[in-house]
Amino acid sequence: METLKIITLSLSGLLLLVVGAMRLSNPIKTYLKNSGIKLEKDVDLLNEMRGISGVMLLGGIIILLGTIIPELTTSSLMVASLLFLGFAIGRILGMVKDGKPNKLLIQGLVFELVFGSASTFCLITSLI
């Protein structure tokens, strides 16, 4: 089970770290490349995008710390579960309210559900 936790935290943390850093440094280019979304040079919109990117980056760091500091493993699994399932719930609600998004965003939803579920599974098994 420890191996599964390490793999889950490593992959989850790296994904959030890399995507968060890319979106934080260049949101216009990164959103277009990874999500097919064309962002305008709107200061307010870019500020919002960078804000959530910072959360992703720091969440990734906390999650990765759980792989090397045993005392943080449970907290890292909680953070991973909350972030990934939070994104997934938001996307699902968006699909219900706004319609079906493009293929890249649906792929993102699948990854979020997989990482969120894996993190939640590891968290529950570590608490039992």
Domain extents for the chain? 2-127
Cβ pair 6, 67 in contact under 8 A: yes
Round to whole Å and give the CA distance between 70 and 74: 8
φ/ψ region of 75 (left if φ > 0, alpha if ψ in -120 to 50, else beta) reads alpha
pTM for this entry: 0.92
pLDDT in tens, the chain (128 residues): 799 999 999 999 999 999 999 999 999 998 888 888 888 888 999 999 999 999 999 999 999 999 999 999 999 999 999 999 999 999 999 999 999 999 999 999 999 999 999 999 999 999 98
Q: How far is CA 72 from CA 9, 41, 51, 62, 75, in A?
A: 11, 39, 24, 8, 5
